[in-house]
Chain A
Amino acid sequence: MSPKRAGALALAALGLLVFPELGGAYAVSLATLILYLATAGQAWNLMMGFAGQLSLGHSLYVGIGAYSAGALFFHFGIGPWLGVWVAVACSMAVALLIGGLAFRFGVSGVYFALLTIAFAEFTRIAFDHIDWLGGPGGMFLEVAQRDRWDLAHFRGPPSMYYYAALALALGTLWLCARLSRSRAGYYWRAIREDEPAAQALGIDTFRWKLLAVLVSSALSAISGVFLAFYQNNLFPEQVFHVSRSIEILLGPVIGGVGTLLGPIVGSLVLTLLSDGVSELLAALGWELPGTKQVLYGLALLGVVVFLPNGIWPALHAAWQRHSGARSA
């Protein structure tokens, strides 16, 4: 790595670390949201971008993770560090079921996507009827204090959540980078590009696709645990809703499916865009509800039509051309 690049990275790292001090509460809440979406998006990206399986019901894994850890805390006072293992286990079990059934029966492409939606919706309605998990009335986790960092119960000031989200985002990024360069990564790319060819080469596509689903669901579950302890209330209608699934995948798709930085760039751009449009409308004094979403939708449309591979690849290419032109 060139010294200039290392220097830039160090500066960025420093910036991220001291951000809560400089940023102020509003910026911190936005940043936490961006980092959470980046993590969840990265998990989704693993399944889609690496292994080529389109999941439109990823809120299922996040939700199961959130509810598992939440229920343990709510009913038994078990903290998130133990809860996360249970959350991951539950989520992986469900992923095993869905992935196993789907791949066993050869469900792929759009059909697989619809299957994921069906499972998420099914679970949403089911959870509405499970009173032990709060039913439609929701599960409210007790918020004991917000001043000190209490990592054992994951309670503390917003800056703690920011750092936790930062750690999660960086951790998933690192994990995905490692996986991308590992055997799993190569097999996944092969499967994504051309599954029959991969099979012809002797790759056990069933096993590797399933692995992608399992890892993706595990990471989603972890972000779900974060969500549960950050928001402190869970409603099936909100947690498993299809709009949540869409929210998770918007980041990677806009940022660049299959790339490592895509989810992060995507969630950054989208959250700032969403907020920026609200601010713009507020500054113009335009309060007609629905305007912001129309503008937001137009922006999404613009990106998907003109930047087919997402923002990050386009940015990267532009950067390459720029430095290429300079060095020439």
Chain B
Amino acid sequence: MPAELILNVALSGVLTGLVYGLMALGLSVIFGVVRVVNFAHGELMTLAMYGAVAAFQRFGLDPLLSVPALAVGFFGLGYLLQVTLVQRFVTRPEHAQFLLLLSVAVILANAQLMLFGPDARNASVDYALDSLELGPLLLDLPRLYAGGVALCASLSMFAFFRFSRSGKAIRACADNYRGAQVVGLPIRRLYALTFGLGCACVAVAGGVLTLLVDVTPALGPAYTLLGFVIVIVGGLGSMLGALLGGLLVGVSEALAGLFFTPSAKSMVSFGLLILVLLLRPQGLLGRRA
């Protein structure tokens, strides 16, 4: 197998992995702080994708440019969702949370079917099929841009959580719930903020993913599942872990597809998940609970 083939495939895996990482970041933030299993994650992302596609078709707006608007809009949506529905489920058992978000997922996915129909949609920007040749490497331009924006968004999230007051407060909630209460942090508002941020992340991920994948209403569940694999592998509560997990999954799937049967490459992610759950449940960079 020629080296340049492996290199190109691995590179593509890295870029795609960055987008996956951003999506998982949203999930990790929600999961890590609010401790709610967001099974509607994928459907929120497809909603964002439809938003980007609609913006492109109506206003000719490149998905990369609609990303800020999507982020703001979905932040609001997430905030609202948390305050109206999810908050009362925070103390309820997991199966109830699961069912709550599952219902939301079903409603979202089928509302999208009703509104947009079953056709696959995409934003066919001018550079959609461009590629850049750099020596032996063939860089897929849309993928490069998508990966780039995803990386920027992830970095801004890191910065927010590291340096801003709210960010630190949220991390405090996640680390030590009792302590946070004792100190007097406005837990509910922070939860809502977190859910909003998580949704904003997934919206940005969706926006850039529009450049790579066509959106259909049924696209959600696969990404939700992928998100969970990445979050577990990377480590719950670790944002860097989510990003690294995304990269790991992106690259390992790509290489598995190269060396084994491509149709079985998803088995790699699930196999990885099983191994991590059994042997190192805190994931690569998580802390032991």
Name A's B-contacting residues (CB within 8 A).
48, 54, 56, 101-102, 105-107, 109-111, 113-115, 117-119, 121-122, 125-126, 128-129, 242, 246, 249-250, 253-254, 257, 288-291, 293-294, 296-298, 300-301, 304-305, 308
Closest residue of A by beta carbon distance from B231 = A114
Query: Are B94 and A110 in contact, CB atoms less than 8 angstroms apart?
Result: yes
The smallest C-beta distance from A102 to any residue of chain B, in angstroms, reads 7
Q: Choose one: A109, A129, A257, A297; the contact of B106 (CB below 8 Å).
A: A297
CA distance A254 to B99 in the complex (A): 9
Query: Are B267 and A54 in contact, CB atoms less than 8 angstroms apart?
Result: no
Query: Are A301 and B281 in contact, CB atoms less than 8 angstroms apart?
Result: no
Known contacts A125-B267, A293-B110, A300-B106, then 7 further A-B pairs from the complex at CB < 8 Å, ordered by chain A residue? A105-B278, A109-B94, A117-B225, A122-B270, A246-B102, A290-B217, A301-B107
CA distance A111 to B232 in the complex (A): 8
Segment among B52-60, B111-119, B158-166, B198-206 that sits at the interface with chain A: B111-119
A contact residues around B103 at 8 Å (CB): 297-298, 300-301, 304
A contact residues around B279 at 8 Å (CB): 105
Query: Are B217 and A304 in contact, CB atoms less than 8 angstroms apart?
Result: no
A contact residues around B111 at 8 Å (CB): 290, 294
Q: Choose one: B99, B114, B229, B278; the contact of A101 (CB below 8 Å).
A: B278
Closest residue of A by beta carbon distance from B104 = A301
Interface size class of B (residues with CB under 8 A): 35 or more
Check if B177 is an interface residue, CB within 8 A of chain A. no
Q: Choose one: B228, B261, B267; the contact of A114 (CB below 8 Å).
A: B228
Q: Choose one: A107, A300, A304; the contact of B278 (CB below 8 Å).
A: A107
Query: Are A129 and B271 in contact, CB atoms less than 8 angstroms apart?
Result: no
Q: Which of A115, A250, A288 has the most CB of B within 10 A?
A: A115
Q: Choose one: A113, A119, A298, A301; the contact of B94 (CB below 8 Å).
A: A113
Q: Choose one: A114, A119, A125, A298; the contact of B232 (CB below 8 Å).
A: A114
CA distance A232 to B73 in the complex (A): 48
The smallest C-beta distance from A186 to any residue of chain B, in angstroms, reads 20
Q: Choose one: B100, B113, B274; the contact of A305 (CB below 8 Å).
A: B100
Tell me the B79-131 residues at the A interface (CB within 8 Å).
85, 88, 92-96, 98-100, 102-107, 109-114, 118
Contact indicator per residue, chain B 253-278, by CB within 8 Å of chain A (1) or not (0): 00000000101101100110110011
The smallest C-beta distance from A189 to any residue of chain B, in angstroms, reads 14
Q: Choose one: A111, A118, A253; the contact of B99 (CB below 8 Å).
A: A253
Closest residue of B by beta carbon distance from A125 = B267
B contact residues around A305 at 8 Å (CB): 85, 88, 100
Q: Choose one: B37, B99, B263, B264; the contact of A304 (CB below 8 Å).
A: B99
Query: Are A129 and B118 in contact, CB atoms less than 8 angstroms apart?
Result: no
The smallest C-beta distance from A282 to any residue of chain B, in angstroms, reads 16
Known: A246-B102, A290-B217, A300-B99. A115 touches B274 (CB 8 A): yes
Closest residue of B by beta carbon distance from A292 = B110
Check if B221 is an interface residue, CB within 8 A of chain A. yes
Known: A54-B98, A107-B277. A118 touches B113 (CB 8 A): no
**Among all A-B residue pairs, the 10 with the closest Cβ atoms:** A290-B113, A297-B106, A297-B107, A293-B110, A290-B110, A301-B103, A290-B114, A300-B103, A122-B270, A118-B273
The smallest C-beta distance from A214 to any residue of chain B, in angstroms, reads 19
A contact residues around B278 at 8 Å (CB): 101-102, 105, 107, 115
B contact residues around A301 at 8 Å (CB): 100, 103-104, 107
Known: A105-B281, A294-B107, A298-B107. A125 touches B264 (CB 8 A): yes
B contact residues around A125 at 8 Å (CB): 263-264, 266-267, 270
Query: Are A115 and B114 in contact, CB atoms less than 8 angstroms apart?
Result: no
Closest residue of B by beta carbon distance from A129 = B264
Query: Are A115 and B277 in contact, CB atoms less than 8 angstroms apart?
Result: yes
The smallest C-beta distance from A166 to any residue of chain B, in angstroms, reads 27
A contact residues around B225 at 8 Å (CB): 117, 121, 242
Known: A118-B270, A301-B103, A305-B100. A54 touches B92 (CB 8 A): no
B contact residues around A296 at 8 Å (CB): 106
Question: Please, could you name 28 A-B residue pairs with CB atoms under 8 Å apart, sorted by A?
Answer: A54-B95, A102-B277, A102-B278, A105-B279, A107-B281, A110-B37, A114-B228, A115-B273, A118-B270, A118-B277, A122-B267, A122-B270, A122-B271, A122-B274, A246-B102, A250-B99, A253-B95, A253-B96, A289-B114, A289-B118, A290-B112, A293-B107, A297-B105, A297-B106, A301-B100, A301-B104, A304-B100, A305-B85
The smallest C-beta distance from B67 to any residue of chain A, in angstroms, reads 27
Tell me the B219-244 residues at the A interface (CB within 8 Å).
221, 225, 228-229, 232
CA distance A90 to B170 in the complex (A): 46
A contact residues around B102 at 8 Å (CB): 246, 300
